[in-house]
Amino acid sequence: MVKSYTIQLPVSVFSVFRKEPNDFIREMKYAAAVKWYEVGEISQSKAAEMTGLSRYEFISLLTRYKVSVIQYTKELLEEELKNAY
């Protein structure tokens, strides 16, 4: 199920980014999903669902935004390193 919500933006933002409103909104959605994935708020599969992309397409989007596909928390990395020895 998909729900729609209204968001108010100044008209000037569209010209700054040189995008049509629908393209701008899509990019906002992409940027939010990528950032939330990067900081560990959501998984790849949830981010892909949020953006309407396949997981493969979302991984390609991460590359476009220069965000690593693999996200380690400090705790997870410490655990991995501890188990490596």
pLDDT tens digits, 48-73 = 999 999 999 999 999 999 999 987 77
| Global pTM value | 0.79
Q: How long, in residues, is the chain?
A: 85
pLDDT band at 78 (very low <50, low <70, confident <90, very high): confident
Quote the pLDDT of residue 49: 96
Please name the amino acid found at residue 66: K
Quote the pLDDT of residue 31: 97
Which spans in the chain are helix H?
12-16, 21-38, 44-51, 55-64, 74-84
Q: Which fold has domain 17-84?
A: Arc Repressor Mutant, subunit A (1.10.10)
52: left (phi over 0), alpha (psi -120 to 50) or beta: left
pLDDT band at 76 (very low <50, low <70, confident <90, very high): confident
> Tens of pLDDT along 36-50?
999 989 999 999 999
